[in-house]
């Protein structure tokens, strides 16, 4: 994985400064610690930081190629899992590549197929191709939004980068947050509307979107979206199709020239990935390394809930022994989880998921000591219906984003127009539902399942992928997510809900598809999300930090309603967002908000 950034202006070369592009690139060096290079011409400056995973010798970027009197330069962040097929297709078109680098395969695929390129790719990616003679830049992001890509068009200048912090290094881009940006943070974050970059002058290329910049204008379009289609097969057919696609996705993502491991919680999703990977490793005479996560004091303090019915540790150890993996349990110290809230905010570029972010940052740092690539189980719940809002009526019919359990709790802490903000977010919700692809013949259950999938993929999943990308890339660790293979989503979206929820069992289709890979204890385990700390010491630490920051009279101190905070401090651990964020996480989010305002010199407009 890598970071990319660039500046293009084909109307005024004075707006293209190499030193600015390099400054943008330097603040993202953590994403690509192994190498860095840049390209510059009168009208375009591109920069790249590289994390070397495939073909260490080749694959340096920016990469330039000359073909049929045209010159092409690419900067690319990601991993392609169908490189071999692309190479074979290029060979049929008379092009023999000089390396097995996926960067070279991607560049020549674009040279041959142009704007049709994204539809030919299987992988996680964001990239830009400068076509010199055409005075144009082509931008693209992967279908599900695993890899980030932000941009601004200011005057006749295009500015783009892998992270918001890179964008803010450009003098044309200011840390302005308008009223809608504030509402997004208070009501929705860590979720954001697709395309939002939080800051007023920054947008995000949406998942499945690409665009071409020329003549001072960026024309964007979707090259991929979910489609509702009729399913003609049986439950057995569905299981067989999902089994093939999932095994194929996992095997494709085991290719690496550096050490690779799997993140194993002991839950269904990570266990499937680890089981398939472990079998592949055994067949080539190797042992898969796996990691599970725990928190200091959790065994003594764990509290079961609807969202987290049991801890992970015993299940992960059990399956690691069953699979004969080289297993490591990583335990996050409570104090470090609290202290890492600040760097986690800076890596995410806005207040995110509190200790869910900071603990992941800690775990990724530990994994990086031995491994550079890891496989993780994100996306399965959104695709196969693993969340409670897929099947609990009170959540499905809440007339609001179903993972937001107390919409007014966080906004009510702030001195702002929360009523208008609530209506704004409710409109976003309704507009999102109206865009959900359905069939006229869908049953009511199928329509609700499609809506839950649509909302989850476009909001909840993108946020989880963003968290995993930022916290892992902060440490130079590449995380791959096999369930994000678009073929799996395309297929599962059209399989009847009665098959996916057979017998009232969450993710029944996934369990049926991969049943012979797992022991019953894991196969039939109730869903349990990424773990959080239950140690009461964490809340005490966060309250102390929050009190200290409020005494500094920063932005939070000026915006906060103290009487509402006092009420909040008397509450127990009410879950208000997703499956993990309760009162300690809300207090930590307030800390992150204040840190963000200070570090990014945020101006609310």
Helix, strand, coil share of the chain (percent; to 5): 45, 20, 35
The pLDDT score that the predictor gives to residue 299 is: 75
Last residue of a domain, one of 523, 538, 559: 523
Is residue 326 located within the same domain as residue 465? yes
The answer to whether 345 and 596 are in contact (CB under 8 A) is yes
* Rounded CA separation 557/227 (Å): 47
* Rounded CA separation 583/365 (Å): 27
Per-residue confidence band for 309, with pLDDT thresholds at 50, 70 and 90: low
289 belongs to a structural domain: yes
Q: What angle do CA 262, 383, 493 make, to 5 degrees?
A: 140
Q: Quick check: 210 pLDDT over 80?
A: yes
Q: Which residues on adjacent β-strands are paired with residue 49? A: 3, 36
The pLDDT score that the predictor gives to residue 532 is: 80
The pLDDT score that the predictor gives to residue 395 is: 86
Number of compact structural domains in the chain:
2
Q: Give the closest residue to 324 by CA, choosing from 289, 273, 366.
A: 289
595 belongs to a structural domain: no
468: which DSSP letter?
Answer: H
* Rounded CA separation 557/575 (Å): 24
Q: Quick check: 54 pLDDT over 90?
A: no
CA dist list (Å): 529 to 89, 192, 603: 41, 21, 35
The answer to whether 151 and 164 are in contact (CB under 8 A) is no
Q: What is the mean pLDDT of residues 451-480?
A: 96
Q: Which residues on adjacent β-strands are paired with residue 125? A: 78
Is residue 352 located within the same domain as residue 489? yes
The answer to whether 393 and 377 are in contact (CB under 8 A) is no
Structural domain range at position 299: 235-523
Q: What is the CATH number of the domain that holds 155?
A: 3.60.20.10
543 belongs to a structural domain: no
The pLDDT score that the predictor gives to residue 416 is: 81
Is residue 88 located within the same domain as residue 205? yes
Q: What is the CATH number of the domain that holds 286?
A: 3.40.50.620
The answer to whether 48 and 62 are in contact (CB under 8 A) is yes
* Rounded CA separation 421/419 (Å): 5
Last residue of a domain, one of 483, 507, 523: 523
Q: Quick check: 575 pLDDT over 70?
A: yes
Is residue 374 located within the same domain as residue 435? yes
Is residue 248 located within the same domain as residue 194? no
Last residue of a domain, one of 469, 488, 523: 523
The pLDDT score that the predictor gives to residue 571 is: 85
Query: Over the stretch 140-163, which tens digit does the pLDDT of each residue have?
Result: 999 999 999 999 999 999 999 999
Q: Quick check: 304 pLDDT over 70?
A: no
Is residue 115 located within the same domain as residue 263? no
The pLDDT score that the predictor gives to residue 534 is: 83
Per-residue confidence band for 347, with pLDDT thresholds at 50, 70 and 90: very high
144 belongs to a structural domain: yes
Q: Quick check: 327 pLDDT over 60?
A: yes
Q: What is the mean pLDDT of residues 268-272?
A: 96
2 catalytic? Reply is yes
Is residue 348 located within the same domain as residue 423? yes
Is residue 320 located within the same domain as residue 341? yes
The answer to whether 48 and 21 are in contact (CB under 8 A) is no
CA distance between the termini of the chain: 35
Q: Give the closest residue to 190 by CA, choosing from 28, 349, 362.
A: 349
Q: Give the closest residue to 453 by CA, choosing from 482, 494, 422, 425.
A: 494
Stretch (H or E) spanning 37: strand 35-40
Half-sphere exposure of 322 (CA within 13 A, CB side): 20
CA dist list (Å): 173 to 90, 136, 163, 167, 474: 40, 22, 13, 7, 23
Q: Is residue 475 classed as helix, strand or coil in its secondary structure?
A: coil
Is residue 259 located within the same domain as residue 315? yes
Stretch (H or E) spanning 66: strand 63-67
* Rounded CA separation 18/26 (Å): 12
530 belongs to a structural domain: no
What is this structure's pTM? 0.95
Q: Which residues on adjacent β-strands are paired with residue 597? A: none
Q: Quick check: 531 pLDDT over 80?
A: no
3-state secondary structure 384-447: HCCCHHHCCHHHHCCCCCCCECCCCCCHHHECCCHHHHHHHHHHHHHHHHHCCCCCCCCCHHHH
Per-residue confidence band for 302, with pLDDT thresholds at 50, 70 and 90: low
Stretch (H or E) spanning 360: helix 355-368
Q: Quick check: 533 pLDDT over 90?
A: no
Is residue 200 located within the same domain as residue 275? no
279 belongs to a structural domain: yes
pLDDT, mean over the chain = 94
Is residue 128 located within the same domain as residue 272? no
Q: Give the closest residue to 482 by CA, choosing from 356, 558, 382, 377.
A: 377
590 belongs to a structural domain: no
Burial (0-12, 13-18, 19+ Cβ within 10 Å), 303: exposed
Q: Which residues on adjacent β-strands are paired with residue 161? A: 5, 150
Greatest C-alpha distance within the chain: 71
The answer to whether 423 and 429 are in contact (CB under 8 A) is no
The pLDDT score that the predictor gives to residue 305 is: 56
The pLDDT score that the predictor gives to residue 307 is: 53
Residue whose pair of structure tokens reads 């019953």 in the numeric block? 520
Residue whose pair of structure tokens reads 């992150």 in the numeric block? 592
The pLDDT score that the predictor gives to residue 311 is: 56
The pLDDT score that the predictor gives to residue 409 is: 93
Stretch (H or E) spanning 26: helix 18-26
The pLDDT score that the predictor gives to residue 220 is: 98
Is residue 412 located within the same domain as residue 286? yes
- The active-site residue out of 2, 261, 364, 379 is 2
576 belongs to a structural domain: no
* Rounded CA separation 31/51 (Å): 7
- Residues contacting 182, CB < 8 A, separation 6+: 416, 421, 604
Q: Is residue 312 classed as helix, strand or coil in its secondary structure?
A: coil
The answer to whether 108 and 95 are in contact (CB under 8 A) is yes
Stretch (H or E) spanning 137: strand 136-141
The pLDDT score that the predictor gives to residue 308 is: 55
Q: Quick check: 572 pLDDT over 80?
A: no
């Amino acid at each position: 994985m890598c970071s990319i950034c660039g500046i293009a202006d084909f109307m005024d070369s004075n707006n293209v400064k190499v030193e600015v592009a390099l400054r943008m690139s330097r603040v993202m060096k953590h994403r690509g610690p192994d190498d860095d290079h840049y390209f510059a011409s009168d009208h375009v400056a591109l920069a790249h930081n590289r994390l070397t995973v495939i073909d260490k010798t080749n694959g340096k970027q920016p990469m330039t190629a000359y073909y049929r009197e045209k010159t092409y330069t690419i900067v690319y962040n990601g991993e392609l899992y169908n490189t071999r097929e692309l190479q074979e297709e290029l060979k049929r078109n008379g092009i023999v590549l000089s390396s097995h680098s996926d960067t070279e395969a991607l560049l020549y695929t674009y040279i041959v197929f142009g704007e049709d390129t994204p539809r030919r790719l299987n992988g996680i990616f964001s990239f830009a191709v400068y076509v010199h003679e055409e005075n144009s830049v082509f931008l693209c992001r992967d279908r599900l939004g695993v890899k980030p890509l932000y941009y601004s068009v200011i005057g006749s200048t295009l500015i783009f980068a892998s992270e918001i912090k890179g964008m803010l290094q450009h003098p044309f881009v200011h840390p302005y947050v308008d009223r809608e940006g504030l509402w997004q943070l208070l009501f929705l974050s860590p979720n954001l509307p697709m395309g939002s970059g939080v800051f007023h002058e920054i947008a995000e290329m949406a998942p499945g979107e690409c665009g071409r910049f020329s003549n001072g204008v960026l024309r964007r379009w979707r090259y991929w979206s979910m489609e509702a289609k009729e399913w003609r097969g049986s439950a057995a057919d569905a299981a067989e199709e999902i089994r093939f696609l999932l095994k194929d996705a996992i095997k494709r993502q085991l290719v690496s020239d550096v050490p690779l491991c799997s993140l194993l919680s002991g839950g269904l999703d990570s266990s499937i990935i680890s089981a398939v990977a472990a079998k592949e490793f055994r067949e080539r005479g190797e042992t898969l390394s796996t990691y599970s996560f725990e928190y200091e004091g959790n065994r003594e303090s764990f509290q079961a809930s609807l969202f987290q019915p049991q801890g992970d540790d015993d299940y992960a150890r059990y399956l690691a022994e069953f699979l004969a993996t080289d297993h490591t349990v990583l335990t996050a110290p409570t104090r470090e989880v609290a202290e890492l809230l600040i760097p986690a905010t800076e890596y995410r570029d806005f207040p995110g998921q509190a200790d869910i972010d900071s603990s992941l940052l800690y775990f990724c740092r530990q994994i990086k000591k031995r491994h550079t690539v890891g496989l993780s189980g994100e996306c399965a719940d959104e695709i196969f219906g693993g969340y409670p809002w897929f099947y609990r009526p009170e959540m499905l019919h809440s007339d609001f984003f179903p993972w937001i359990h107390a919409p007014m709790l966080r906004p009510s802490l702030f001195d702002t127009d929360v009523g208008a903000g609530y209506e704004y977010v409710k409109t976003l919700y309704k507009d999102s539902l109206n865009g959900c692809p359905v069939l006229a013949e869908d049953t009511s259950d199928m329509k609700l399942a499609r809506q839950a999938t649509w909302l989850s993929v476009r909001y909840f999943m993108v946020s989880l992928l963003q968290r995993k990308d930022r916290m892992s890339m902060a440490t130079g660790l590449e995380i791959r997510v096999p369930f994000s293979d678009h073929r799996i989503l395309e297929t599962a979206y059209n399989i009847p809900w009665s098959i996916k929820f057979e017998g009232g069992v969450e993710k029944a289709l996934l369990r049926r598809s991969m049943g012979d890979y797992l022991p019953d204890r894991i196969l039939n385990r109730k869903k349990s999300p990424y773990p959080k700390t239950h140690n009461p010491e964490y809340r005490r630490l966060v309250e102390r930090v929050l009190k200290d920051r409020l005494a500094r009279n920063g932005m939070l101190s000026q915006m906060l309603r103290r009487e509402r905070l006092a009420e909040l401090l008397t509450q127990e651990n009410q879950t208000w967002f997703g499956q993990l964020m309760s009162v300690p996480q809300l207090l930590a989010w307030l800390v992150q908000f204040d840190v963000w305002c200070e570090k990014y010199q945020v101006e609310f407009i």
